[in-house]
A = this chain, B = another copy of it.
Amino acid sequence: MNILDQKFAEFHELATEEKIECFTKNGRLFDMIISQQLNRKIIDNIYEITNRIRHISKTRAGLLFLQSILSHKRVMLYFAQPSSRTFLSFENACHILGMKTSEIRDARVSSEVKGESFDDSLRTFSSYTNLIIIRHKEQDMAERAAWLLNTCTNRPVPIINGGSGSDQHPTQAMLDVYTLQYSFAKQGGLDGKTIMMCGDLKRGRTVRSLSYLLKNFEDVKIIYTAPQAFQMEEDVCSFLEKHKIPFHIETEALDNVLSEADAISGKTDTSKFKLRPSDMTKIRPSAIIMHPFPRRDEIDVAIDSDPRAIYWRQERNGMWTRAALIAYIFNVHEEILNY
């Protein structure tokens, strides 16, 4: 345990608010590490920027404009835990903004294998590039990266958490919220809606991050649907109680609660919670079905053609919201909004 390990251990014990301070610069979002950093103002900003980017990208001139925004910036995509979907989503978001990308997608290629510490690897990436997007199978590595560059170096670059251990996956939560806002745009937005989350909630970093984000909306209700052994962890439940967000824990079956949901965000490994074509009649006609993929056999492909199944659009939204987030972090979103 070196001196940095000790210092980080201290940082890691801090309250969430104090950590958020470390990830903030000049009063603005600098690193994107945990969902709790996102307040309603930022969420609405990202929503607006995302819509704008989607609209601008419909023409060649618009695409060329977007590419000019950050074409002078270089990005490091450090995916020590492989993931083609999240990787490609981020990489193409960078390409949309004209950024030049470098990548490590295979731990065996990495210096870490040659005896380099995580800290030194991260400092190296920060020597060469202007932004680091990191995915790691171990907990808290994105947090450590941001802490390290912000407090131990004099040339920090922003860090975006692309999924770190089982803790959080804030940009997935961000794209989920965008998809919810967009889908309910003509029904008063996300406020007042009932969101059902099903699957392995215990280890699901996406549903954890999404739960944190929902505190930014009014009168939202959550239904956690999973067998007892896979139910949501105590820390998130406490958070919801503290912020007076009503939630219901359902451990028996999808059937009991399917008709109550305005939106279903799913990911389950247990056959009892699998979505079959026959379930579709029990779901509200106006409800939407989301899924972070891969779906394995959790959602029958026959459901894809149902208009309530919006997971493919949701996936594509991932690219747009990530482009919006990057533009926001680099403070060039006004250029986009004014185009």
Contacts and interface: CB of A to CB of B under 8 A. Distances in A.
Contacts of A124: 84-85, 88, 293, 315
* Count of this chain's copies in the oligomeric assembly: 3
A111 interface: yes
B125 A88 contact: yes
A8 to B, nearest CB: 12
Given A84-B121, A92-B102, A128 B316 contact: yes
A177 B92 CA distance: 34
A3 interface: yes
User: Which secondary structure dominates where chain A touches chain B?
Assistant: helix
Interface in A98-134: 100, 102, 104-106, 108-111, 114-116, 119-121, 123-125, 127-129
A304 B71 CA distance: 32
Contacts of A153: 312
A280 B300 CA distance: 61
Given A88-B129, A128-B316, 12 more contacts: A2-B300, A3-B302, A63-B72, A67-B72, A74-B95, A88-B128, A89-B128, A91-B102, A92-B102, A116-B296, A127-B316, A127-B319
